[in-house]
């Protein structure tokens, strides 16, 4: 027995040493693996999601910045959409994806509006996301068909008062900023208009131009070409000042004092994005927004290009939810 026991001792020591080595390697893998993956980012194509239709503001801007981000990151940045619910379907989907930097989302101001408008969302609009950087800020335009007898914001209010519940306005979805802009306008003007929600894109513009819908509240991206062609009549912009891209269009506040609505676009990712990946993506967005040709294109789309830090965007979203919730309550707008 003594001889057998002694013969086993080296084997036991060898076996123990082997497991210790394997354990050390495994622990190193756990510690170093994510870091190595982060330092290697990106090593495959990235998706930039948004929640609206083709040809709309979010889709146009997403494709614009994705093209330049692809050049800087050395990997394709592919734009994809999951439309519906004012962008909330896309937000919910991306919020539940891995936080590895390979699925990003272009959020709109409607993201914060949804946080104020909805009693309950399947995601938290702040804590379920890593905010990366803003891209641009912009007003909306109130427009109608060139064939409409309504030629100004004052005439729109007058017509809506004469026919309560008859005039209609479009938005890019229930709970979108355009929706809330229309509700706020109606509340402040003391009129009743029917809300007609779309999934975004060019459809609302087409239906207003053909007079299926009376008026639109939309961004300048899908509307400016039709304003310039004379097919769409711009009644006013929702910013306090006139928009540089359409200086001939007055502010709606000139006819409806204190009415002002502006929005924004920004890049985000699922919560808990690794710091190294966040830094890489944030730097790239800032670089793209600062490019002279991109800045000019964003200006032409009616926006003011402005990148910022992750924390600045988080504070923006948080404060916008508080602001819109106050507007919803003060205007007695029913929460969804």
State the SS3 of 164-180: CCCCEEEECCCCCHHHH
Please tell me the distance from the alpha carbon of residue 312 to that of residue 332, in angstroms, as a whole number: 30
Tens digits of residue pLDDT in 34-92: 444 456 899 999 999 999 988 888 999 999 999 999 999 999 999 999 998 889 999 99
Q: Tell me, what's the pLDDT at 38?
A: 56
One-character DSSP codes across 108-127: ETHHHHHHHH-S--SS-TTT
CATH 3.40.190.150 residue window(s) in the chain: 46-138+264-330
Q: In the CATH scheme, what architecture does the domain 46-138+264-330 have?
A: 3-Layer(aba) Sandwich (3.40)
**Distance from C-alpha of 317 to C-alpha of 37, rounded to nearest angstrom:** 30
Q: What is the pTM for the complete model shown?
A: 0.78
**Does residue 98 surpass a pLDDT of 70?**
yes
Looking up tokens 């991306």 gives 94
At 141, give phi and psi (nearest 5°). Answer: -120, 145
Q: Tell whether the model's pLDDT for residue 312 goes beyond 60.
A: yes
The pLDDT of residue 283: 97
Three state DSSP letters for 212-231: CCCEEEEEHHHHHHHHHHCC
- Number of helices and strands (H, E) in the chain? 11, 10
Please state the length of the chain. 336
Tell me which CATH code domain 139-254 carries. Answer: 3.40.190.10
Kindly report, as residue ranges, where domains of CATH 3.40.190.10 are found in the chain: 139-254
The residues near 308 (Cβ < 8 Å, ≥ 6 apart) are 133, 134, 316
- Cβ-contact 259, 327 below 8 angstroms: no
The answer to whether 251 touches 164, Cβ cutoff 8 Å, is no
pLDDT digits (tens, 9 = 90+) for 133-152: 999 999 999 999 999 999 99
> Which is it for the CA torsion 66, 281, 310, 121, positive or negative?
positive
Residue 114 in this model has a pLDDT that exceeds 60 = yes
């Amino acid at each position: 027995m003594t001889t057998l026991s002694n013969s086993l001792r080296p084997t036991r020591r060898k076996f123990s040493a082997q497991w210790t080595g394997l354990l050390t390697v495994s622990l190193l893998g756990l510690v170093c693996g994510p870091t190595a993956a982060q330092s290697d980012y990106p090593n495959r194509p990235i998706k930039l999601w948004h929640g609206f239709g083709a040809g709309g503001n979010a889709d146009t801007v997403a494709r614009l910045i994705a093209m330049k981000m692809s050049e800087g990151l050395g990997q394709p940045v592919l734009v994809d959409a999951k439309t519906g619910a004012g962008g909330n379907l896309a937000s919910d989907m991306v919020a539940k994806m891995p936080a590895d930097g390979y699925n990003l989302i272009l959020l709109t101001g409607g993201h914060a509006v949804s946080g104020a408008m909805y009693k309950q969302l399947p995601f938290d609009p702040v804590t379920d996301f890593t905010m990366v950087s803003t891209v641009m800020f912009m007003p909306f335009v109130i427009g109608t068909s060139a064939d409409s007898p309504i030629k100004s914001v004052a005439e729109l209010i007058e017509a809506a008062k004469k026919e309560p519940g008859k005039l209609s306005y479009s938005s890019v979805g229930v709970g979108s900023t355009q929706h809330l802009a229309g509700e706020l306008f109606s509340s402040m003007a003391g009129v009743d208009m029917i809300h007609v929600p779309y999934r975004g894109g060019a459809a609302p513009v087409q239906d207003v131009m053909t007079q299926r819908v009376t008026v639109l509240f939309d961004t300048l991206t899908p509307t400016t070409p039709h304003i310039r062609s004379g097919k769409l009549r711009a009644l006013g912009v929702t910013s306090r000042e006139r928009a540089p891209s359409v200086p001939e269009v007055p502010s709606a506040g000139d006819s409806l004092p204190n009415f002002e609505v502006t929005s924004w676009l920004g890049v985000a990712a699922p919560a808990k994005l690794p710091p190294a990946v966040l830094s890489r993506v944030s730097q790239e967005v800032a670089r793209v927004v600062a490019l002279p040709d991109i800045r000019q294109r964003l200006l032409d789309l009616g926006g003011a290009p402005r990148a910022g830090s992750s924390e600045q965007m988080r504070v923006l979203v948080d404060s916008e939810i508080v602001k819109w919730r106050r507007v919803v309550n003060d205007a007695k707008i029913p929460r969804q």
